[in-house]
A and B are shown apart, each in its own frame.
Chain A
Amino acid sequence: MTEKSITIREALSSALREEMQRDERVFIMGEEVGVWGGTYAVTRGFLDEFGARRVRDTPISEMVIAGSAVGAAMAGLRPIAEIMTINFAFVAMDAIINHMAKVHYMFNGQFTCPVVIRTTTGGGKQLGATHSHAPEVIFAHFPGLYVAVPGTAYDAKGMLKAAIRDDNPVLFVEHSTMLQRRSAVPVDDADFVLPVGKSDIKRPGKDVTIVTYQKGLEWSGQAADLLAQEGIEAEIIDLRWLRPLDLEPVFESVRKTNRVVVVEESLPHFNVGAEVAAQVMDQAFDYLDAPVKRVSAMDVPLPYASNIEMMALPDAQKVVKAVKEVL
């Protein structure tokens, strides 16, 4: 198998292209996906390659983008609906939660809903309070929907292909500041597909378990480097999916490290860390030598001014501090 270093953006593009080539029923719809080429340039060239039937520009209408994807999927197509940023998914909340996530259940399995909603998340770009959320955890609250949060090019490719091939609806969340990140990705295997709902140990260690995903991988990786200089070995577990949530590797790691820190960009109330802490207590309480610690954004809307925006977000130093508190 040949591997090549590519960016997350390239990984996403190649996953989309391969799946559209594989299955005629797969098509893309959303704001600026066609003529513009995608606001993050993921679908650049797709309109020429696949035509306007399969690369469909929509008006700025998130309710009908999400809702018509549901109908098309129920009727047998496999839509990839792009919501430009996850902030706009709030507008489509009813279509996503009340319809996309539920039509399979409430009609007792008569319909399936193989929709992928691709969207971008994350703050840190001075976009102000309404454009800087990392709220993917909200969507993971609801049964019926999967939530993917890839943090590397390798994962982005294998997980997007998995999402497209799965018969369940998937909210596929990409981090807007990580699209240029590179990693080695198989390039000559059209069936390179990662499993749905599997977390991944990104860095082995024995002293503390850091549970994180996406942007948190970067803060945690930097923190782990700093901690290593002091002889502290952090194990970093990348959740990759917030639903299905695979915490088995976390429980196993806790039995070894006896300490857990959860790192994420979302807000502190009812966040990923809260769920992980509860489940670790339930499954591995006797192995804990310290309370589970959470590192997240501060409990404020994100401001415009860069210095206070960065103050509100996690960083490597905050992770280091949290780790030292549990050691």
Chain B
Amino acid sequence: MAAPGKETLLEWYRTMVLIRRFEERCAELYQQGKIGGFLHLYIGQEATGVGIVSALRKNDHVITAYRDHGIALAVGMDPKHVMAEMLGKRTGTSGGKGGSMHLADRSRNFWGGYGIVGGHLPLAAGIALKARYLEQDEVVVCMMGDGATNIGYFHESLNLSAIWDLPVVWLVENNGYGMGTAVDRASGQPEIVKRAIGYGIKEGPRIDGMDTLAVHDAVSEAIAHASKHGPILMESLTYRFEGHSMGDPERYRTKDEVARYTEGDPIGRLRGYIIDQYKGAAKNLEAIEQEVVKTIAEAVEFAEDSPVPTYDDLVSHVYA
């Protein structure tokens, strides 16, 4: 696979830094009581999200669970409107009615974040069925956490994708824990890709989910496979640096373990790679970092200044 050029790498870097700064700001706003409900941060998993989205072809689709901010930003949703959704404003991407877990952008083929573990897997199958039904060359990348692989939806959806030959990349973002339960405490077969054999679908790779280029390449290959040959199951081995959601006491892992992973920060790795490849790129990276700080400040300002939803918003879109 051709190595990405400098512009592409800088764009990936920009998106990853944007996600990181966005999430850090969300954590602060949550602590200030400006963001309510659940808040699941994507910090540490940026390489997986950006690697996946960068691999999508023009008409491909992506759908994910509730840890969805990173995907929303990666597909190009405006941070202003995403932040407004966090703050429950009517300028939010779901008009303030969805919140952190329910970001989506139909125009970008991002079919949303979903709050019930595994609940979006059959939706992915249905979106892929549309492509098969209309004979369109479109692939659905269905992201899920490792925790989603133990609910019945996983079994039913992978099996249906096999018998109906649906173009889906079932992509497990394996961050080691389903909430606080480690994968090997929750799964009889902790090497999740091996389950593909049981469904008669392609067993894809387990990739280093902290390496943006590796994720991009592997997902590109998986999309090519799904397009021609049907479903594939793959894993991106990643790690969330923060708790499952805000207020997680993190009794299930040690500080040493977290420190080991943060040393391999995916943003630092991409930064190092770019500087190695391109002399003088450091100044580009710094410019990006400053630009992102400004973008986030503008997003927060926009969100804070936006109006809250109204009674009319409350009662609209119950029915089409």
Contacts and interface: CB of A to CB of B under 8 A. Distances in A.
Interface of A: 27, 53, 56, 58-59, 61, 63-64, 66-77, 79, 94-95, 98-99, 103-114, 143-144, 167-168
A63 B316 contact: no
B160 A61 contact: yes
Given A95-B119, A107-B102, A70 B126 contact: yes
Interface stretch (B93-101, B203-211, B230-238, B288-296): B93-101
B119 A71 contact: no
Given A61-B160, A106-B97, A71 B317 contact: no
A70 B123 contact: yes
A67 B153 contact: yes
Contacts of A103: 112
A68 B320 contact: no
B122 A109 contact: no
B201 interface: no
Given A58-B160, A108-B97, A109-B316, A64 B130 contact: no
Interface string B305-320: 0000000000011111
Contacts of B115: 98
B129 A105 contact: no
B307 to A, nearest CB: 15
A67 B133 contact: no
B18 interface: no
Given A105-B317, A107-B112, A109-B320, A67 B94 contact: no
Contacts, number: 132
Interface string B142-167: 00000000001100110110011000
A108 B102 CA distance: 10
A74 B126 contact: yes
A308 to B, nearest CB: 34
A106 B102 contact: yes
A33 to B, nearest CB: 14
A187 to B, nearest CB: 30
Nearest to B129: A72
Given A106-B94, A109-B320, A74 B119 contact: no
A75 B127 contact: yes
24 contacts: A59-B159, A64-B125, A64-B157, A64-B160, A67-B121, A67-B153, A67-B157, A68-B129, A71-B123, A71-B126, A72-B129, A72-B133, A73-B126, A75-B126, A75-B130, A77-B129, A79-B126, A99-B114, A104-B317, A105-B317, A106-B94, A112-B320, A144-B318, A168-B320
Contacts of B105: 110
Contacts of B239: none
A75 B131 CA distance: 9
Contacts of B133: 27, 53, 72, 77
Contacts of A106: 94, 97-98, 102
A88 to B, nearest CB: 13
Contact of B320 (A58, A69, A76, A167): A167
